[in-house]
Structure 1
């Protein structure tokens, strides 16, 4: 149990250092130095590094060890585009194959909870992010395809490719309010299309929905100062 706790602590600490830019792309990571710095043994450090490599934040170096990956903005945008294609396919599968009333009720309950998260003077961004992730998981489940679920899980494993990536910017801004409200209306439209067995429409809306994340990243990377301060993953991107 203690070993698991230490491995998780190392994973969280190293992931955060990568995402906030403290460990820049190309940095070679050494188990001994990290173990001394974090005051834990090499075994949990080794486990954390392997996990970060699975997440796509590290590359295995020639001759052993790990190197922090560098990410180009065009590659990130392509990844989000790919997520849109896969989630569009999931929405089409769900509409064509049909889903249970219970599944539709569950999705609409999440939509109502998101309505509440967006209804205040200031957005409850933590709640929105959790519910948004939940909605996208339900969408994948509705597709009834293990193969598709595996591919979506692989694509969204990188921090910047998940549906809620890059949402931590200026929660009180009018721009973010408009952005999230528009994206949420697409949530509602996707479920309506699935319920009505409109496969092509469900796929089209889901693919367009992913472009909201793409547009948000483009907007944030063009900003300076406060709008970028709340989005640490931007630090690992290069143009």
Structure 2
């Protein structure tokens, strides 16, 4: 996606997450393009992407409407992700890690350790962690040797905020976000330990619990400072 396209996509995601574009709001290409100072093409692409993410619904031939996202819907989608990634972790532990995947997972751990070592995070740090986290989860799916899990996760990712590639961050409380994401990173350490030692049941339970870190989305999207919530996504 082009830089203008990425800018439009990120801007619209933030506006939806903050409530600036409330549920039920109708959107059309031309007025949206004019308000953002871009051509219609990046807006059209962004609309299609947001529809796939579950944040917009088609309304008529060219229009869209902001979709209502309920806390229960978010929780349900995240719970499904936890079940599927837990299964991937168990199968990876039972199958055994290849030297390449083990090295790549340990690289994710080392990079995360370096990021959190200073005891605080910036928005830029969390963008870096987003990529580390995404890589870690992709490696876990690869290690499972079960492509059906990845296929099923792709379907689940059409539900709002269900994808591991979507990371909600509250910029008004980065101290708390440091604790949240450092804890999630420590869970990565624990699951790798379980994988290395072939402890399938333990690995599965850790990954199912790991998904619960995401459930704070419900709180964040209804908090007084929800205008400071941004969605980091690749």
Return 5+ residue gaps in structure 2 as ranges: none
1:166, distance to aligned residue in structure 2 (A): 2.6
SS in 2 for 1:166: strand
Match for residue 28 of structure 1 among 26, 29, 47 = 26
- Separation (CA, whole Å) in 2 of partners of 1:90 and 1:38: 41
Describe the SS at the equivalent of 1:208: helix
The residue aligned with 2:217 is 217
Are the aligned partners of 2:195 and 2:203 in contact in 1 as well (CA < 8 Å)?
yes
The range that moved more, 47-56 or 80-89, is 47-56
1:108-151, Cα deviation, whole Å (9 max, x unpaired) = 11111111111113234333232122211211221222221122
Q: For 2:110 and 2:195, how far apart are their aligned partners in 1?
A: 17
Tell me the CA shift for residue 65 of structure 1: 2.2
Q: 1:185: how far off?
A: 2.2
Contact 1:125 1:168 in 2 (8 A): no
Do the aligned residues in 1 keep the contact of 2:116 with 2:182 (CA within 8 Å)?
yes
1:111 to 67, 88, 109: 109
Which residue of 2 is the match for residue 165 of structure 1?
167
Partner of 1:230: 228
> Are the aligned partners of 1:118 and 1:181 in contact in 2 as well (CA < 8 Å)?
yes
The 3 A distance-change label for structure 1 pair 89 and 73 is same
**Is 2:171–2:230's contact at 8 Å kept on the other side of the alignment?**
no
Residue 72 of structure 1 corresponds to which residue in structure 2?
70
Q: Indicate if the aligned counterparts of 1:159 and 1:165 stay in contact, CA closer than 8 A.
A: no
1:51-87 deviation per Cα after TM superposition (whole angstroms, max 9, x unaligned)? 2211211111256521111101121111111111111
Contact 1:21 1:232 in 2 (8 A): no
Could you say which residue in structure 2 is the equivalent of 1:143?
Answer: 144
Q: 4+ residue stretches of structure 1 with deviation over 4 A?
A: 4-9, 169-172
What is the TM-score with the length of structure 2 in the denominator? 0.82
**Count of matched residue pairs:** 227
| Cα 1:165–1:112 shift into 2, 3 Å | same
Aligned-CA RMSD value:
2.8
Cα distance 1:70–1:103, how it changes in 2: closer, same or farther (>3 A)?
Answer: same
Note if 1:49 corresponds to 2:47. Answer: yes
In structure 2, distance between residues paired with 1:87 and 1:142:
11
Structure 1 counterpart of 2:118: 120
8 Å CA contact 1:170, 1:176 repeated in 2: no
Query: Any gaps of 5 or more consecutive residues in structure 1?
Result: 234-239
2:186 corresponds to 1:188: no
Task: Give the drift of 1:7.
Answer: 4.4
Rg larger in structure: 1
